[in-house]
Amino acid sequence: MRILAIETSCDETAGAVVEDGVREVCSVVASSKEFHVETGGIVPEVASRKQLEFIFPVISETLDKLCKSENYRNTDDAVKNIDALAVTVGPGLIGSLVVGVSAAKALALAWEKPLIPVNHLVGHIYANFIESPVHGARGSAVNLPAVCLLVSGGHTDLVLMKDHGDFEYLGGTLDDAAGECFDKVARMLGISKYLGGSVLSAEAAKYPQERPFILFPRPMIDQDNFDFSFSGLKTAVKRYVEQGVNDIPLVCREFEEAVVSVLVTKTMRAVDKYGVKTVLLGGGVSANLRLREKFKKEAEKRKISLFVPPLNLCTDNAVYIASAAFFNRSHKTLVEIFADPSLGIMDTV
């Protein structure tokens, strides 16, 4: 089954075609990132206007790539070979979401194809099901149930995935998301104006020795729940920086270590509590090398399987949206699991 998916939840405009939920046939991602650097963060109005500008070129390029990859004579042939459409319906910026949903609805109507609504966070989980030359065949290798940690610029959530379409929300951040905290600390240190997670991580890696002391707190690490809080950690870094900092790599290393420790400890606590043998990571922050390294160590120690998406599937794209649509197409929970509207497309499924 071939699904063409559209993702426009934030500042990426993406299209992709995936076969049977695991084989990436083609993928296109456009981003309005550069327009948000000056403001040091996303202005939703700017993001949605860029979505409008990018949506048709992205869909058209996705179809061109599909033609090339499968040797179709023209776009009509390509469309005939698409079985369904999928679109992200939330969570996300409403102005951005509406652009993708409207485009998907119009195409579904014109092409007479079913339209599958996908939750963006569920989508991130499915980055682990895509076959990849480096990671090998993945879809069938992922044994469920699994504990999923979703860490992005907007979310930090722990989810128990019992099966496709059967998710239980375990907990999440009470304030800032982990990625947001990375971005704000990077800005505070003057090393990046926008989306500074990877820059901060690169600075942290410059610190020559193992961590000599614990400068910052590990919020909620000892609490017997699956919630997180990162705003206090951000304030602790701010207080420290205000005293005058001349060792940026040290601060980055200490901050990164604090975030990673909390994320790993709480995820592993969920693994123990629910007795699962699989951990799935997803979201932009799962690109963090220190996070990957610590998770790998813990997974080896416990003899459980760890799945981490390839770097290009950590950040927003439509490949995992198509995969999530395939594996969850008959499950209602796809939209309902996390609070956000379906934008009224449920009737078209």
Nearest to residue 32, comparing CAs of 22, 16, 19, 44? 44
Task: Tell me how long the chain is.
Answer: 349
Residue 182 partner contact from Zn ion, ligand KG4, none using kind-dependent CB cut-offs of 5 to 8 Å = ligand KG4
- Please name the amino acid found at residue 268: M
Residue 15 partner contact from ligand KG4, Zn ion, none using kind-dependent CB cut-offs of 5 to 8 Å = none
Instruction: Give the nearer residue to ligand KG4 in terms of CB position, either 11 or 19.
Output: 11
CB atoms within 10 A of CB 68: 11
**Residues near Zn ion, by CB under 5 A:** 152, 316
Residue 100 partner contact from ligand KG4, Zn ion, none using kind-dependent CB cut-offs of 5 to 8 Å = none
SS3 at position 278: strand
Nearest to residue 28, comparing CAs of 53, 61, 5? 61
Closest approach of ligand KG4 to the CB of residue 326, in Å = 20
Phi, psi (rounded to 5 degrees) for 307: -115, 125
Residue 51 partner contact from ligand KG4, Zn ion, none using kind-dependent CB cut-offs of 5 to 8 Å = none
Tell me the C-alpha distance between 63 and 58, whole Å: 9
Closest approach of Zn ion to the CB of residue 212, in Å = 35
**Residues near ligand KG4, by CB under 6 A:** 10, 152-154, 179-180, 182-183, 195-198, 201, 283-285, 287-288, 315-316
Closest approach of ligand KG4 to the CB of residue 149, in Å = 12
Q: How far, rounded to the nearest angstrom, does the alpha carbon of residue 110 sit from its chain's CA centroid?
A: 30
Residue 179 partner contact from Zn ion, ligand KG4, none using kind-dependent CB cut-offs of 5 to 8 Å = ligand KG4
Instruction: Give the nearer residue to Zn ion in terms of CB position, either 254 or 316.
Output: 316
Closest approach of Zn ion to the CB of residue 92, in Å = 8
Burial 218-237 (b: 16+ CB within 10 A, else e): ebbeeeeebbbbbeebbebb
Query: Would you call 252 exposed, middle or buried from its count of C-beta atoms within 10 A (0-12, 13-18, 19+)?
Result: buried
Closest approach of ligand KG4 to the CB of residue 156, in Å = 10
Residue 62 partner contact from ligand KG4, Zn ion, none using kind-dependent CB cut-offs of 5 to 8 Å = none
Instruction: Give the nearer residue to ligand KG4 in terms of CB position, either 105 or 290.
Output: 290
Residue 201 partner contact from ligand KG4, Zn ion, none using kind-dependent CB cut-offs of 5 to 8 Å = ligand KG4
Closest approach of ligand KG4 to the CB of residue 315, in Å = 3
Tell me the C-alpha distance between 301 and 286, whole Å: 20
Long-range contacts of 261-265 (CB under 8 A, 24+ apart): 261/218, 261/221, 261/294, 262/218, 262/219, 262/220, 262/221, 262/228, 263/149, 263/151, 263/156, 263/178, 263/228, 263/291, 264/291, 264/294, 264/295, 264/298, 265/218, 265/221
Closest approach of ligand KG4 to the CB of residue 262, in Å = 14
Nearest-CB residue for ligand KG4: 284
Q: What is the DSSP string of 164-197?
A: TTEEEEEEEBSSS-HHHHHHHHHHHTTS-SS--H
For the chain, the distance separating the N- and C-terminal CA atoms, rounded to the nearest angstrom, is: 16
Residue 176 partner contact from ligand KG4, Zn ion, none using kind-dependent CB cut-offs of 5 to 8 Å = none
Closest approach of ligand KG4 to the CB of residue 71, in Å = 32
Instruction: Give the nearer residue to Zn ion in terms of CB position, either 167 or 207.
Output: 167
Instruction: Give the nearer residue to Zn ion in terms of CB position, either 183 or 316.
Output: 316
Instruction: Give the nearer residue to Zn ion in terms of CB position, either 14 or 67.
Output: 14
Tell me the C-alpha distance between 152 and 180, whole Å: 8
Instruction: Give the nearer residue to ligand KG4 in terms of CB position, either 8 or 328.
Output: 8
Instruction: Give the nearer residue to Zn ion in terms of CB position, either 12 or 256.
Output: 12
